[in-house]
Chain A
């Protein structure tokens, strides 16, 4: 393009036509490219609204039959066709909460260690190991959780926790019941391992982006490593860290196979995190293939709609928090 304009001075008629032709071609390319990108963006919107419409359409029979009570009913009885989403919603939120409560601090600490404190030799191996963790298919986590991790929890961790907290109020209800090995805690722990790489790798990238001059200045005026981490790096990178947290939470809320293997799949709301429970995606994966009858299938679709809404709310809260933070800073 630049060539065409540079050679523009004092040209003959033939050259002028060829130049106009080139320009026209370039313009067409741009228009086509513009159209293509816009088309791609519109396709995304169409797909999303298609998904929403079909979810709503599919869940109308169930929501019509049970109304808003669907959200707060614990019963899930395919025989009498009584369905309620309370147990799966509860299980989804509890397992995701356990996962994030563990993965967020650990992930940020790993990222900080990797960017600031780790000897150069170890940096690459640890970084690669964490990225590999993200590459393991979720079914592998499920099988490993069922065959290795759950028996380990059942034999060593759960009995110890039950004994330790037997006399402490509240906590004894939280850690109660027979140690099955599988249950909501196990699912939460597996999820924590699965989402750790998301938090770590994003945090590491944003920590790396902190201008060295800020850190050096902080160390220069006598800050400890802890103070640099808490007062310089975290405030500077919080938008990125929250972004990683949300990505991880999105994965935890929707994770299916690994959870199905280790959560125990009982449509019950239990106070104990050792008790079997279920999540929205696990219920759908378990029951959709053999669900016969309109109300049953429709209830499962309605579960999908609820998961969609939960994810949407989480994203909306994240956006809102980011906005608030930016306003306060700016």
Chain B
């Protein structure tokens, strides 16, 4: 008797919690933007009472889930090609950006001391440049005393959007990299050790003298890692700062790719940081549950409008306002319910 009662109570609880969640927005995908999505969701819930259920299962998982229609939106660090978007009827737009920075561990070299450019970075990660006193590095750093020390390479072992953007930049900067390795969330690394996550890379770099790795800017900044400066496409030396990431986003031609699928690597502009990365949202243009998609769009619009400061606190880069305007215009013209009524109207 008692057991039955407890069972009933449990069932009732389960159902009531289901009901409470019914109004929540559901999404799944990329891990890279998870902290900022969580922060936005928290603030949004306080303001509107509507929560966000976001599973940070990785971009691949996010794409699979949105295609299976188990979530209202998917999130991916790598944009889908236009053909795939058209075939599946998905709309795609960038939500927030971040930077990727090389980090090193060389005795006597402080953050920002070392300058690298794309071709040199690619040669290091290809294993062609083996020592820190290589002429190619010395030429870029006439004022830095470089040791005769073997370069130990540390890369991500887990598939990640960070790797996707980093290898995209190396492929842009080096034809060799493009043919030998290529661009993906995981690649066949010619050299080095793989470490799990940003924290794994950072820790292995910190432990190994003469090492180089790459991490998200937020991670490098919060842990005070020895980042390098980069020579950008315009030939100017830039430091990884919020301004340099925003400059890259501002100089990008967002409409050149379907679904705003522009990779922000190697963008023109004197101030642009060459390894800036955006992360995208995927949702259906004609969703089966229009109400849920409308709620999701409200949340995204709120995040664009009010989430900028929160993003910067977490060292993410908000989208420029002209791009946001354009994205919202796309929402109101492309995303519709079954009767053809737009699910979002611009204020």
Q: Which residues of A contact B (CB under 8 A)?
A: 75-80, 146-147, 150-151, 154, 178, 180-183, 260-261, 264-267, 276, 278, 282, 285-292, 297
A265→B189 CA distance, assembly (Å): 10
Q: In whole Å, how far is A86's beta carbon from the nearest beta carbon of chain B? A: 13
- 8 tightest A-B CB contacts, nearest first: A290-B159, A289-B58, A265-B194, A265-B157, A79-B182, A77-B188, A290-B185, A264-B193
Q: Is the CB of B188 within 8 A of A289?
A: no
Q: Is the CB of A180 within 8 A of B182?
A: no
Chain A residues near B57 (CB-CB < 8 A): 289
Q: Is the CB of A290 within 8 A of B189?
A: no
A9→B245 CA distance, assembly (Å): 96
Give which listed residue, B31, B152, B196, B208, contacts A265 with CB less than 8 A. B196
Known A-B contacts A181-B208, A286-B196; A79 and B157 likewise in contact (beta carbons under 8 Å): no
Chain B residues near A265 (CB-CB < 8 A): 157, 193-196
Q: Is the CB of A79 within 8 A of B181?
A: yes
Q: Is the CB of B207 within 8 A of A150?
A: yes
Q: Is the CB of A286 within 8 A of B157?
A: yes
Known A-B contacts A151-B207, A290-B58; A77 and B187 likewise in contact (beta carbons under 8 Å): yes
Chain B residues near A285 (CB-CB < 8 A): 158
A58→B184 CA distance, assembly (Å): 22
A288→B57 CA distance, assembly (Å): 10
Q: Is the CB of A267 within 8 A of B193?
A: no
Q: In whole Å, how far is A141's beta carbon from the nearest beta carbon of chain B? A: 14
Q: Is the CB of B183 within 8 A of A290?
A: no
Q: In whole Å, how far is B180's beta carbon from the nearest beta carbon of chain A? A: 10
Chain A residues near B203 (CB-CB < 8 A): 146-147
Annotate B246-281 by CB proximity to A: 1 below 8 A, 0 otherwise. 000000000000000000000000000000000000
Q: Which residues of B contact A (CB under 8 A)?
A: 31, 57-61, 63, 78, 150, 152, 157-161, 181-189, 192-196, 200, 203-204, 207-208
Q: Is the CB of A266 within 8 A of B207?
A: no
Instruction: Jot down 6 A-B pairs with beta carbons below 8 A, ordered by A.
Output: A75-B188, A79-B183, A264-B195, A288-B60, A291-B159, A291-B185
Known A-B contacts A276-B194, A289-B57, A292-B59; A181 and B207 likewise in contact (beta carbons under 8 Å): yes
Chain B residues near A77 (CB-CB < 8 A): 187-188
Q: Is the CB of A290 within 8 A of B186?
A: yes
Q: In whole Å, how far is A96's beta carbon from the nearest beta carbon of chain B? A: 20
Instruction: Give the secondary structure class of A's interface.
Output: loop
A55→B89 CA distance, assembly (Å): 31
Q: Is the CB of A78 within 8 A of B187?
A: yes
Known A-B contacts A266-B189, A292-B185; A146 and B157 likewise in contact (beta carbons under 8 Å): no
Contacts A147-B203, A180-B208, A181-B208 supplied; 19 other A-B pairs, CB < 8 Å: A75-B188, A78-B159, A78-B187, A79-B184, A154-B207, A182-B204, A265-B157, A265-B194, A266-B189, A266-B194, A286-B194, A287-B158, A287-B186, A289-B60, A290-B161, A291-B159, A292-B59, A292-B63, A292-B78
Chain B residues near A178 (CB-CB < 8 A): 150, 152
Chain B residues near A150 (CB-CB < 8 A): 207
Interface centre among B60, B158, B193, B195 (most CB of A within 10 A): B193
Chain A residues near B208 (CB-CB < 8 A): 154, 180-181
Chain A residues near B207 (CB-CB < 8 A): 150-151, 154, 181
Chain B residues near A154 (CB-CB < 8 A): 207-208
Give which listed residue, B31, B192, B204, contacts A266 with CB less than 8 A. B192
Q: In whole Å, how far is B169's beta carbon from the nearest beta carbon of chain A? A: 15
Residue of B nearest to A142 (CB): B196
Residue of A nearest to B161 (CB): A290
Q: Is the CB of B185 within 8 A of A78?
A: yes
A289→B207 CA distance, assembly (Å): 27
A225→B160 CA distance, assembly (Å): 57
Give which listed residue, A80, A261, A290, contacts B60 with CB less than 8 A. A290
